[in-house]
Amino acid sequence: MKDQRKYTWGSRLAGRLPFYYGWMMVPVAVITQAVTGVGQTFGISVFNPSLQASLGISLSALSGAYTAGTLAAALPQTLIGSLMDRIGIRKTTLGILLLLGAACQLFSRVDSLPALLVGFFSLRLLGQGALSLMAGNIPALWFRKRLGTVTGIVSSGFSVSMAVLPPFFLYLINHFGWRTAYARLGLLVWLIGLPLVALLRDGPGDVGQELDGGTAEEVRELQTLPKRDEIWTAAQARKTPAYWIMIINAALWAMVITAVFFNLLSILDSQGITAGVAAATYTTYAAASLATQLAMGPIADRGSLRVLLLICMASLAAGIAVLSQAAAPWMAHSYAVLIGISAGLISLLGGTLFARYYGRESLGQLKGGMLTAQVAGSSLGPLITGLIYDFTGSFQISLWIYVGILVPAALISLRAVRPSRPQNPPFSSL
């Protein structure tokens, strides 16, 4: 193949392996997903007390900078996805890792509120946004038959990092101070992430293999089957109901989850739950999410994605309802289990639905659009909850508003059916 010459080292390695090179991409994607923790809410929030004390700013000023930075970071995600479609995931990931490590170094030198805003923008743009997009797209470039299973494994990297990284970040802060901690995290981004690029490839064609590790003849046979990886342009996909249902649900999910996580200790404290129990719910959440990803991944390979989307949004609605009434530790952990199930399903759906419905040619643009919606939603959640609390003195009002939004969103999910073949597809994606 024409691109094979560019990656002779990878081709030789693939030829020596006793298994499909796509399986090498699984740990690459898992570790890449974990590296995004430096720009995720659960990672940054550990630094909030230190940022307030160091910069002498209020919680509202900190939250406002975070909201503004996150919202601005949402806008370029579709462009980053388009860049991946044009130059490949390998070069795009390399550039993102270099910039993310530099963003951590610069964040360690923040000394004012405007600088904090720029710092939040950089970390959210590159960590939560761009690098997550790359990690999430890797499985779809290598797998079709087992895409759901592989996506579940890759998504588990996020669940594990959510349980492991906050204590690690706190350890660095306590021993070295928050500035040195973020500077060292930037070095770790480079030390861990950059070697992965040496293994990363843009697809099976780069190492002389076929999708799923099959033969060229098997791939040609699959191409003759109906509804198999038809080519959709991004413009065609945007005209289908399934695209917008997934986009809107992903944005609502991110909005609600971020609103809750950003205020979780305060919410549970107002209901008599200690900070220790509140912190422990993150571990419960991560465990439930991990179990869901691994258990439901095979179902996402062949099962109804719209039903999984319904369960995802319904579980989130149920979890928020339980949280609003949580007056005992077992209820707090029950809330965490329910939203953990929802988190596991949304990661599976984000990694499989667009690839199964629309093929892979415009995957970067489509998932970039979804990530834009998610990042934008995550920027609004804390702001909405904070404003309602300031006016009413209650967290329950915003929680029940979220339940009221999520229930119809769950029901509408059943309309996210796989669309029929696009008109006049230009060529097959394989």
Pick from 143, 161, 412: nearest CA to 290: 161
Tell me the C-alpha distance between 324 and 304, whole Å. Answer: 31
CB neighbours (10 Å) of residue 411? 12
What dihedral do alpha carbons 375, 322, 326, 394 form, nearest 10°?
Answer: 60
In the predicted model, is pLDDT for residue 50 greater than 90?
A: no
Q: What is the CATH number of the domain that holds 58?
A: 1.20.1250.20
Which range of residues forms the domain containing residue 339?
22-200+226-415
In a domain, 160, yes or no: yes
pLDDT in tens, 9-44: 556 676 777 888 888 899 999 999 889 989 988 788
Q: How many domains does the chain have?
A: 1
Tell me the C-alpha distance between 353 and 220, whole Å. Answer: 23
Q: What's the DSSP call for residue 124?
A: I
* Least confident residue range of 84-93, 167-176, 273-282: 273-282
Most confident range, picked from 161-165, 170-174, 307-311, 387-391: 307-311
CB neighbours (10 Å) of residue 6? 14
Q: Do 201 and 10 contact (CB within 8 A), yes or no?
A: yes
In a domain, 221, yes or no: no
**Residues with Cβ within 8 Å of residue 249, at least 6 apart in sequence:** 309, 312, 313, 409, 413
In a domain, 212, yes or no: no
pLDDT in tens, 126-169: 988 899 889 888 888 888 888 778 877 887 777 778 778 888 88
In the predicted model, is pLDDT for residue 183 greater than 90?
A: yes
* CB neighbour burial string for 223-253, b if at least 16 within 10 angstroms, e if fewer: eeeeeebbbbbbebbbebebbbbbbbbbbbb
Q: What local confidence, expressed as pLDDT, does residue 8 receive?
A: 55
Positive or negative torsion for Cα 262, 257, 286, 375: negative
In a domain, 325, yes or no: yes
Pick from 407, 279, 292: nearest CA to 346: 292
In a domain, 2, yes or no: no
In a domain, 17, yes or no: no
Q: Strand runs (DSSP E) across 92-187, as ranges?
A: none
As given in the structure block, the two tokens for residue 82 are: 């388009």
Burial class of residue 170, CB neighbours in 10 A (0-12, 13-18, 19+): middle
In a domain, 121, yes or no: yes
Side chain identity at residue 180, one-letter code? T
Mean residue pLDDT of the chain comes to 83
Pick from 71, 74, 189: nearest CA to 133: 74
Q: Do 238 and 170 contact (CB within 8 A), yes or no?
A: no
**Residues with Cβ within 8 Å of residue 368, at least 6 apart in sequence:** 77, 78, 79, 80, 81, 82, 84, 133
* Least confident residue range of 54-58, 192-196, 356-360, 409-413: 356-360
In a domain, 211, yes or no: no
